[in-house]
Structure 1
C-alpha cells in the first residue's frame, strides 16, 4: 500500500508530494538523476520516456520526452539550480512544452528514515494558483504514483 501524500492547500501556489521508499537515499537520488533509471520509472504506465538531455549540475539543462501509445509526444524541460546531491537534494525548473511560459520550481529532498527507508519530499512552486490547480487537475497524482510503484518494484528486485 502506498503512502503517497499530495498537499495542495487552497489559495496557495505550491504542491507538496511525499512518499517513502524501501531503499537508501543514495539509491533514490540515483533513480532521480540517472538517465537509464529515469526511463524505467518516470511517468504514467502508458508513456515511454526518453531523456535527450540531462546535465545534473548547477545551471545544467534537462529534457524529457514522453510518448503515448498512439505516438503523441509530451516534452518537458528545465534547468538545475544549486549543486544537486543526496544532501542538497534537487532543485530545478519545470516547464511543459504544451503550456510554454508556465515555469514552476521543483525541490526534491531525500530524508534517511533508517532501516533502509527513505522519504522524498517534492515541493513544486507555481507562479499562479491557476497553474497549480491545472497541475492537480491533470491527473498528476495518479501518474506520479504509477511511476513510483514501478520504482519501488525496481528497488525490491535488486
Structure 2
C-alpha cells in the first residue's frame, strides 16, 4: 500500500564535489528510525523501490561488522556490500557502500539521526565517493527514485509500529 509522503526527500549533489547529501524528516523518534536501519528484519521491509525483490545476504550491524544484499527484477539482480565502520546507537552510522558491478567505486556513508521537537527525526546521510565522476555516475544510475521510494516505505513502516 502506497501513501503520500508527509516529508520530502532532499538530495543535494553540488557540481564539482564527490559527495551527495540526502536529507529526510520522519515523524518518529531517533531510536525508532535508527532501529529501522540496523535491525535486518526492519531494514528489509523498506530499502529500495517497491518493484524490486530484496535478499539479505549478510547483516552484522555493529562497529566492525559487515553487510551484503541484492535486489532486482527477474534476471537483473544487483548486489551491494560493505562494512560498518561505526555504529553509535540512535546517533550515527558510518559504513562503506559498494555496488558489486563496480567494486572499485567504494562510497563512505555517514548517517546522522538528529532529534527534532515533537518526537521527530531528521536523517542526514552524506555519501562520499572517491571522485566527482564516481559520484555523478551514482546520481545518473537512477538512485534518486529508489531512495525516495525507500523512505516512503520507511514512513509507512514507522507508522505501523
Q: Which TM-score applies when normalising by structure 2?
A: 0.92
Displacement of 1:91 in angstroms is 0.2
Judging by fraction of residues, say which structure has more strand.
2
Q: Number of aligned residue pairs: give it.
A: 156
SS at match of 2:24: strand
1:55/1:62 contact within 8 Å kept: yes
Query: What residue number does 1:128 align with?
Result: 131
For the 8 Å contact 1:109–1:121, the answer to whether it is kept is yes
Deviant stretches of 4+, over 4 Å: none
Match among 87, 91, 94 for residue 91 of structure 1: 94
Instruction: State the Cα RMSD in Å.
Output: 1.2
Normalised TM-score (structure 1): 0.94
Deviations 1:48-72 (A, max 9, x none): 222121111222111011132x242
Give the drift of 1:46. 1.3
Aligned to 1:139: 142
Match of 2:34 in 1: 29
Q: What is the aligned counterpart of 1:116 among 116, 119, 135? A: 119
**Matched residue, 1:18:** 23
